[in-house]
Amino acid sequence: MPVRLWTPQDTELPVEALAEDDQPWLWVTDVKQYMYCPRILYFLHTQPVVYTPPPKVEEGEIVHDELRRRLLRRWPRSLPQGEVLLDVPLADPERRLRGRVDALVRRPDGSLVVVDFKNARTVRPGWKVQLALYGLLAEAQFAVRVKEGYVFLVPRRKAQRIPLSPVLRRKALAALEAVRAIVFERRFPRGTQQKGRCVACEFRHFCNDRF
């Protein structure tokens, strides 16, 4: 089974639409950040704050690089089989949304599956939304229905199938619209309801109502 890195010859991105213009683009990771805490998204995109990225960001990049090398040697049996492309850029000019999915699997029947690798032991709800958006992008770019995705938990070497149901798709698009309101209309959102996330947050000093 072929596993290889994406190259520009593999997919045709809408190059003209990706050019800078008066209609800015959002990234799928913006929506993932929103699902974790909307205020981090607000501070990053609308306020001239200076912050230091947490060590986990750099650690995540190291883990991702090592994982990519391992995947090129051996694709997990618990994931869908077929032609695998790693680090695939996706874009939908109509939604003004971009992303880079960890892996895209084309099965022998021609169907597509999106795969996201996480250095964690459990699947977070926001990651399902992220996966659904990758699925929508892949559909727009390849004109093929994407019915499912997988989150692969690296420490456990476990794959969890995520059906890209109509309910999950609606939730993902609703989150995307909420992100648009925060970023483009500069609406100050409520913070996460899970205050444990605030303890080590690099933006906690900007949230005067959290403690």
183-195 pLDDT, tens digit each = 999 999 998 888 8
| Alpha-carbon gap, residue 191 to 207, rounded angstroms | 8
Q: Give the chain's domains with CATH numbers.
A: 23-35+55-179 (3.90.320.10)
73-99 pLDDT, tens digit each = 999 999 999 999 999 999 998 899 999
| Alpha-carbon gap, residue 165 to 58, rounded angstroms | 33
30-42 pLDDT, tens digit each = 999 999 999 989 9
Classified as helix, coil or strand, 84 is strand
pTM of the model: 0.90
